[in-house]
Amino acid sequence: METLHADLLVIGFGKGGKTLAATMGRAGRRVVMVEQSALMYGGTCINIGCVPTKALIHRAAARPADADPGKWYADSVASTATLTSVMRDKNFRMLDTLDSVTVVTGTATFLDDHRVEVVAGADRLEFSADTIVINTGAENVVADIPGLRDSAHLVTGTELIASPDMPRRLAVIGAGYQGLEFAAMLRSYGTEVTVLESTERILPREDDDVAQAVREILEGEGVTFVTSARVTRVEDTDDGAAVVHYEAGGTRQSVGADAVLAATGRAPRTAGLGLEAAGVRTTARGAVEVDEHLRSSRPHIYAVGDVNGGPQFTYISLDDHRIVADQLLGTGQRTTTDRVGVPYTLFMTPPLARVGLTETAARAAGHSVRVAAKAVANMMAMPRAAIVGDTRGLMKFVMDAETDEILGAAILSVDAQELVNTVALAMRTHTTAATLRDSIWTHPSSTEAFNEVLATIVR
User: Residue 23: enclosing H or E segment and its boundaries?
Assistant: helix 15-26
Give the other-Cβ count within 10 Å of 20's Cβ: 29
How far is 72 from 285, CA to CA, in rounded Å?
40
- DSSP letter string, 304-316: -GGGGTS---HHH
The C-alpha torsion from 16 through 17 and 20 to 21, rounded to 10°, is -160
Q: Which one of the listed residues 153, 245, 367, 443 is annotated catalytic?
A: 443
Query: Which residues, listed in sequence order, are joined to residue 64 by a DSSP beta bridge?
Result: none
Closest CA to 84 of 20, 154, 21, 162: 162
- Beta strand pairing call for 192-196 and 224-226: parallel
Beta-strand ranges (E) seen in 222-283 are 224-226, 230-236, 242-248, 251-257, 259-262, 266-268
Clarify whether 443 is annotated catalytic.
yes
| Amino acid letter, 218 | L
Residue 284: Cβ-neighbour burial (10 angstroms; 0-12, 13-18, 19+): exposed
Whole-number Å distance between alpha carbons of 414 and 210: 15
Q: Which residues are tagged catalytic?
A: 443
